[in-house]
């Protein structure tokens, strides 16, 4: 029983690849520069279209002309997917390996077409580079992909493709052409044709899902970050504070505390007036980097606008918070020797022991301490004390 017409399947695959190639090239314009690889995937599908048309020319042109070209293009298209995936994960492309895979495919196709014609041997030979390429994609996704639904879907598609190509190659070696020749009727042949027709488009959809997940994370990060210094903004700080307070509430029995530093650069307006706003911006960026270098990985740094920075110190009491504040002041004194205008900072310290206290109240207490530091001569550290 003939399940599928190979010619129709090839044309359907070419059409889907062409559509998804156009989608990927079009979608590329809507992604920021941090999301890479879409162009390679669009090009990969375009190459697959040409490969499919070459396969469709069997019977019209001699096999020795169309099959080597079709198979090398097929390998090259799959290899471009690996290149695109490597770029997506911030890795350098490996063009020599792709060139080697294409050369391997060409040599095998010519040998088993001209020197020793053998359909099963051609299938087994071609399964080697395709399996390695598909396996390389799977390794990249497993090693670098985020544990999200989009990545799971994408990785599953790659795994299915890897297994299917491997099984077909093994079957070709063990059972000959009877079970792998797609021009012959059979359940395995029909299943392979159907999957082969759908797989490129499905893989492109999977990659798009992963790309959109990356885009969502980028947009979330941008919405929570200060564009000048790269540290958190008010919104991002509020989210980080909420997470820390929730952790504090869960561990209430351990009497955890957290501290907050309100850091304000002294006479920053004079820096802007004297050196210009561009130089002032450079100072702010430098200060953010220096303050960040004084903190632990668990600490949170945010810019609340202008020259005001806020530091959240989990599991920190007042004494240790003052030590951090002193370290920040020392870094500021030592850092700006000649390269940037020098500046100092006044710092207010407040400690929170009750997870029910709202953030606004904690900020208000830190601001009171900061105001007292400004009143007492600037370049000082003051701790909030309850009114007697």
Catalytic residues: 307
Q: What is the DSSP string of 357-379?
A: S-HHHHHHHHHHHHHHHHHTTSS
- 289 is written with which tokens? 């980097």
- 133 is written with which tokens? 């390429």
Torsion 370-375-381-386 (CA) sign? negative
Show the DSSP H helices in 176-300 as ranges. 187-223, 234-250, 268-275, 277-293
Cβ neighbours of 253 (radius 10 Å): 6
Query: CA–CA separation, 99 vs 322, rounded Å?
Result: 60
239 Cβ neighbours under 8 A, 6+ residues apart = 224
Instruction: Tell me if 321 sits within 8 A of 378, measured CB to CB.
Output: no
Q: How far is CA 65 from CA 36, 57, 68, 119, 181, in A?
A: 35, 10, 7, 15, 19
Cβ neighbours of 85 (radius 10 Å): 27
Instruction: Tell me if 109 sits within 8 A of 72, measured CB to CB.
Output: yes
Q: E strand or H helix at 14, and its extent?
A: helix 6-28
């Amino acid at each position: 029983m003939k399940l599928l017409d190979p010619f129709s399947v090839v044309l359907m695959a070419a059409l889907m690849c062409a559509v998804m190639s156009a989608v990927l090239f079009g979608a590329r314009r809507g992604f920021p520069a941090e999301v890479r690889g879409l162009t390679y995937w669009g090009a990969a599908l375009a190459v697959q279209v040409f490969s499919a048309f070459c396969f469709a020319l069997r019977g019209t042109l001699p096999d020795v002309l169309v099959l080597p070209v079709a198979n090398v293009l097929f390998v090259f298209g799959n290899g471009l997917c690996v290149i695109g995936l490597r770029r997506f994960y911030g890795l350098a492309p490996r063009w020599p390996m792709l060139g080697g895979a294409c050369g391997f495919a060409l040599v095998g196709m010519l040998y088993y077409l001209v020197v020793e014609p053998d359909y099963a041997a051609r299938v087994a030979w071609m399964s080697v580079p395709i399996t390695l390429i598909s396996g390389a994609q799977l390794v990249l996704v497993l090693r670098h992909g985020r544990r999200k639904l989009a990545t799971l879907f994408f990785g599953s598609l790659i795994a299915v493709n890897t297994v299917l190509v491997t099984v077909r190659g093994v079957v070709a070696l063990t059972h000959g052409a009877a079970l792998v020749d797609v021009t012959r009727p059979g359940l395995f042949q029909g299943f392979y044709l159907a999957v082969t027709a759908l797989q490129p488009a499905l893989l492109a959809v999977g990659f798009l899902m992963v790309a959109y997940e990356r885009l969502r994370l980028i947009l979330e990060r941008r919405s929570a970050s200060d564009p000048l210094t790269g540290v958190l903004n008010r919104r991002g700080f509020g989210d980080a504070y909420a997470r820390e307070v929730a952790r504090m509430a869960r561990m209430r029995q351990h009497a955890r505390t957290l501290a907050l530093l309100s850091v304000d650069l002294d006479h920053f307006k004079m820096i802007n007036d004297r050196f210009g706003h561009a130089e002032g911006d450079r100072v702010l960026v430098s200060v953010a980097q220096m303050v960040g270098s004084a903190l632990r990985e668990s600490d949170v740094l945010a810019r609340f606008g202008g020259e005001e920075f806020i530091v959240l110190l989990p599991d920190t009491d007042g004494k240790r918070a003052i030590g951090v504040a002193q370290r920040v002041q020392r870094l500021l004194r030592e850092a700006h020797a000649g390269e940037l205008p020098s500046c100092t900072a006044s710092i207010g310290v407040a400690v929170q022991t009750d997870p029910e206290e709202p953030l606004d109240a904690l900020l208000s207490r830190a601001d009171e301490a900061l105001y007292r530091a400004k009143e007492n001569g600037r370049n000082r550290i003051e701790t909030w004390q309850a009114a007697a």
